[in-house]
Amino acid sequence: NTIVQHLKDELPLPAKRIIWKDLRSKRPYTDPRFRKTCNDALQLVESFLSSEAYFGDVLLEASTRLKALSDKSLQPLYKTNFVRVKTLMERFPERGPEYYFYQYQIEKNDYEVRQSNLQRFKISNIDAILENLDHFYVIEKLRYFCEVLSRRTFLKHQYNNILIEEIISLIEAGGFSGVPLVQIYYQIILSHLHPDNEEHYFALKGLLQKHSPLLPATEMKEMYTSALNYCNRRINQGQGKFIREAFEMYKESLVKELLFDKKKLSQWTFKNVVVLALRLGEFEWAEHFIKEYRWYIPEKYRDNAVTYNLAQLHFYQGDYNRVLNLLQAIDYQDVTYNIGAKTMLFATYYELKEWDALYALAESFKVFIHRRKNTISEGRRKSYVNLIKYTIKLQKLKIHQQSEISALLDKLVDSKEEIASANWIKEKINQKLDTKANLLRAEST
């Protein structure tokens, strides 16, 4: 009880003698005796966890039970259980790699039982053994090849992935057409190898929607993450239609509870969902999401995440004074929130025409970026410097300088550099161009 209470309260553990007294042992305390008791208790805990995992895995337990019965030559019990297990496998809802692995184990065990009963001259179940083994092996090979392809953007390690080309050739020739996981992983691979061909993404999306009831949670989470990563890459390349695609993928993932880790929602996933909703003008949905899902964020991050995302919501709604109030409540210790809040504040000063504050923040923002060489990548640092540069240039241009404003827009559009909040700057430039056009129309009427 003492240990449990200290762990709950996140307090340092009490002295060994106090713990020993709490155990109410009739034997006196000695250090070797205490260590032996701790070791015995640890083994019991480990055995309990193993048993929980074993009996919680229906297929593992069923497969192991059949093997045990056959090893003991308990034929009547084996036959009865074999029929039950086959029925279980037929009705089992998920078709993940483990399903095919245990099917292989069950069929292999049955083959060995037949051999021991001198049934070798009857038609065997070797076809079923090989088919399930192939399904398991191919799914796992494709799964980890997808992981290799996703890692190559940030890791240069050369993986030894033999037979993958032969497997892909088999799939292209029509093999494994009836195995949903194979077809899904194949489309993920194609989306990596041919990223400009959007058909592979939409084929993947269709397969996920069609076969999601058959997918185990772990694999389904990986697959939806792959689809989201593809959308994000296309968004970063300027393909605006994938904002809606990513948003809908996130909504599906929420319904299927794929975004949660131990029933908790990452503050960064929370932020990503809100940003997509806001970019699409889904303000009511975003507000509802913030209110409903805030409680899934770990408590230590919750207040900051909610405050920051509410500030973003009000910024998109044009309630800039509310934005200023919310930004004052943000904890700036986290560099991501810090730089995000500074970016929002910079844009808010521009919207409010607070030019003195804008120029002061521009200077302090540049100093902040320069001092974060070890925590912010060079590309990101340049993108924020470019945001400051283009915004200040735009502010200095007067309404009558239409050719210079147009040239600034052209430069922004043609630039191959990363520019933070590029869409917002484009919007502000176009507003300045439209203002001049509206003035000219007013003068002519």
pLDDT in tens, 128-138: 999 999 999 99
In a domain, 84, yes or no: yes
pLDDT, position 279: 96
**Would you say the C-alpha torsion 378, 382, 384, 385 has a positive or negative sign?**
positive
Query: Is 322 among the domain residues?
Result: no
**Dihedral angle over CA of 214, 224, 306, 366, nearest 10:** 170
Residue 34 domain flag: yes
Give the least confident one: 12-26, 135-149, 221-235, 356-370.
12-26
Q: Is residue 125 part of a domain?
A: yes
Task: Of 69-73, 280-284, 297-301, give the lowest mean pLDDT range.
Answer: 69-73
Rounded to an integer, the average pLDDT of 57-83 is: 85
> What's the pLDDT at 441?
54
Instruction: Give the end of a domain, one of 111, 133, 155.
Output: 133
Asked, for residue 425, whether it belongs to a domain, the answer is yes
Contact 180, 207 (CB under 8 A): yes
Q: Tell me how far CA of residue 197 lies from CA of 191, 200, 306, 427, in angstroms.
A: 7, 6, 37, 29
Residue 394: both structure tokens together: 């735009």
Q: Judge whether 343 lies within some domain.
A: no
Task: Count H helices and E strands in the chain, helices first.
Answer: 21, 2
pLDDT value at residue 445:
47
- Distance, CA of 239 to CA of 260 (rounded, Å): 28
Which pLDDT does position 436 carry in this prediction?
Answer: 58
Domain end point (choices 75, 103, 133): 133
Average pLDDT, integer, range 303-326 = 97
pLDDT of 9 > 90? The answer is no
Domain assignment present for 416:
yes
Residue predicted with more confidence, 247 or 439: 247
pLDDT digit string, tens, across residues 381-427:
999 999 999 999 999 999 889 999 999 999 988 888 889 999 999 99
Residue 1 pLDDT class (50, 70, 90 cuts): low
* Residue 6 belongs to a domain: no
Q: Which of 133, 160, 178 is the last residue of a domain?
A: 133
Domain ranges, residue 24 = 17-133
Q: Give the C-alpha separation, 341 to 347, whole Å.
A: 10
DSSP one-letter string for 225-256 = HHHHHHHHHHHHTT-THHHHHHHHHHHHHHHT
State the CB neighbour count (10 A cutoff) for residue 122.
Answer: 9
Report the alpha-carbon distance of residue 373 to residue 378 in Å, rounded: 7
Total domain count, the chain:
2
pLDDT value of residue 75: 82
What is the per-residue pLDDT across 86-139, written as a single tens digit (0 to 9) for each? 888 888 989 999 999 999 999 998 888 877 766 665 667 899 999 999 999 999
Please state the rounded mean pLDDT for residues 262-291. 97
d(CA 307, CA 208): 34
Of the CA atoms within 13 Å of residue 74, those in its CB half-sphere come to 12
Residue 62: per-residue pLDDT? 87
